[in-house]
Chain A
Amino acid sequence: MSELVIKDLHVTVETDDGIKEILRGVDLTITSGQTHAIMGPNGSGKSTLAYAVAGHPKYTIPSGSVTLDGADVLDMSVDERAKAGLFLAMQYPVEIPGVSVSNFLRSSLTALRGEAPKLREWIKEMNAAMKEIGMDQAFSERNVNEGFSGGEKKRHEILQLELMKPKIAILDETDSGLDVDALRIVSEGINRTVERNNTGVLLITHYTRILRYVKPDKVSVFVDGRVVATGGQELAEELEANGYVKFSKATAGA
């Protein structure tokens, strides 16, 4: 049983016209085996939350805390966070020229497991996982994300999720840019991970359609750098019908 606890998290970035506060006191708890959906308008800070928790150097955290089973996540380097059991599927996965998918995945699993997987078993494991997520084996020899279509990049993120078996996974708009079939396959991957590894999921999305495949235990509304409401799946339906207007007003007065 694991728990990622985010308390009163403030995040700033440095811009040309000074320091800008993007997250303004986020409180969230993500628990093993549970799926927590976050919905919010463009620019509200959802990706910033994901990156800040994963430790991207661009973001500064003036106050607040993030702990994983009591351990101070903010005190860890990016790779230590991954080793502690955190995973981030990125909204825009990064291309790495000259580094093959198989070399990348093997380096990652070697780091996470503390020893290099045996070559033969590794190839079996990778091929099986690729098959499940509907990625052709040819991808293993291609460079990481280079020339991948939007959908292929997202599948590749979920492939990593399945291989890395994190305690807590943050999935940033993994559903964006997927056609219906890909959406179903990716959703099944997420569900498998929750089932097999009891992973706790923070699912960032704009659309309820993924929530038909991946059932959230909770839905939170994220506006202007903080969580403004939390409820069940019915909250998502309401957002899709009426938008964020109601919630934006709520924070404007606060």
Chain B
Amino acid sequence: MSSALQEKEILFKSIDARPDRIASSNPDDFLVPNGREEEWRYTPLKRVGNLHNDAKSEQDITYEVVAASGISHSILSRDEVKTKFLATDRISSRTQSLWNKALVIDIPQELETKDLTWIKVDIKSGVQYGHIIINAKAHSKATIILEHVGEGIAGINCEIIADVNSNIDFITIFDLARKGVIVSEHQFVINKDANIRSLVVQLGGDVVRYVPRAKFSGNHGAVELLGVFLATNGQFFENRVFVDHNMKDCKSNVLYRGGAQGEGSHTVWVGDVLIRKIATGTNTYEMNRNLLLDDGARADSVPNLEIETGEVEKAGHASVTGRLDDDQLFYLMSRGIDEHTARQLVIEGFFSGIFGEFTHPELKERLNERLNAAIERSYR
């Protein structure tokens, strides 16, 4: 048996729910998608700069890091990095095989910090691939922000590994320029008693496809996958969430709120939660709420929950897509508030709760600024 095949077998068991899916770092294990496959059916492949086919790396990606004290970071080449990352689709596996420089962030054991660690990735025009590893050692506590800006085309994957009893807040921001394209797979691995709270914010870019996948490496872990997205003026934002309950007594909470406005704007949310036979005592909830701001926009929302054990503590999923409510606007306007401000209040109100847990003042302010700028763009 070749070693590549062995690797595939292991992952087949540990990362992916569906037996027909493979996980591999070799792009040749995946066919070039034509858009009719279930997992590619929504993605506008014509607009992804050939990331799915044969786009070559045109430059190294640049990472800028401002780290909280005690947290170290290094930029390493392929032969300096040890990774077990196995990609689960054609683009992420191409990314995995094509990156030249990876960013590795180490949060040492027992380090607890309230200070923020900012990673900024400026995607220059042209094609680039990247890989990021965030290693949170046992009993550590930190907040990491991964911010993507720029106007180029990128495939960037990320591993977030939370060791025993660590507490990681991880915020990913996709706020590219209007023509920017990014496709990212993030793999979260949560060890015993560890807790990851993640938030993704998609606001800028032409195409953003985000595939967060969480699994556990010990019992009693918890993961929160929150998301906010607002597509305007023809933008396409996709989220494919997968939570693999492969350990006992773990908790997951998936909450995404999205908005779409304008002709051709399209958002996609697919949420898969798998509770394996062994994962007794699981507590999981997933929810996607969408707000359509006009008739030209479209939101697809597909929640899936697969339960293989009879002993779950709680398992629920829901999806609601509604329109901007005339009655709400009327109520506000009948109090003298102009239409522009009324829409802004309703939209901000719709998104308001979701930043609530991330209380760091600078972070909150930056997130609100970016969201408000995106709401503002929806009027043009």
Contacts and interface: CB of A to CB of B under 8 A. Distances in A.
A143 B327 CA distance: 16
B346 interface: yes
Interface in A81-120: 81-83, 87-88, 90, 93-99, 103-104, 107-109, 111-112
The majority secondary structure among interface residues of chain B is helix
Contact of B351 (A57, A88, A98, A107): A98
A104 B330 contact: no
Interface residues on B, range: 20 to 34
B345 A99 contact: yes
A55 B330 CA distance: 8
B336 A79 contact: yes
A131 interface: no
A98 B348 contact: yes
Contacts of A108: 332, 335-337
A78 interface: yes
A4 to B, nearest CB: 15
A99 B353 CA distance: 10
A100 to B, nearest CB: 9
A109 B339 CA distance: 15
Contact of A57 (B326, B345, B349): B326
B337 A54 contact: no
A197 to B, nearest CB: 15
Contact of B336 (A55, A94, A164): A164
B345 A82 contact: no
A249 interface: no
A68 to B, nearest CB: 14
B353 A56 contact: no
B59 interface: no
A82 B333 contact: yes
B334 A54 contact: yes
A230 to B, nearest CB: 27
B345 A112 contact: no
A99 B349 contact: yes
B350 interface: yes
Contacts of B336: 79, 82-83, 108-109, 111-112, 164
Contacts, number: 86
B346 A94 contact: no
A225 to B, nearest CB: 21
A57 B341 CA distance: 18
Contacts of A90: 331
Contacts of B349: 96-99, 143
A143 B338 CA distance: 20
Interface string B325-365: 11110111111111101100110111111000000000000
A37 to B, nearest CB: 22
B348 A81 contact: no
Among B330, B331, B335, B341, residue most surrounded by chain A Cβ atoms (within 10 Å): B335
B331 A77 contact: no
Contacts of A54: 330, 334
B345 A56 contact: no
A58 interface: yes
A90 B327 CA distance: 11
A174 to B, nearest CB: 15
Contacts of B325: 94
Contacts of A87: 334
Among A55, A77, A87, A96, residue most surrounded by chain B Cβ atoms (within 10 Å): A96
Given A96-B345, A98-B350, A99-B345, A111 B327 contact: no
Interface of A: 54-58, 77-79, 81-83, 87-88, 90, 93-99, 103-104, 107-109, 111-112, 143-144, 160, 164
Q: Top 10 A-B pairs ranked by shortest CB distance?
A: A98-B349, A98-B352, A78-B333, A82-B336, A108-B335, A111-B336, A99-B349, A94-B331, A112-B336, A79-B333
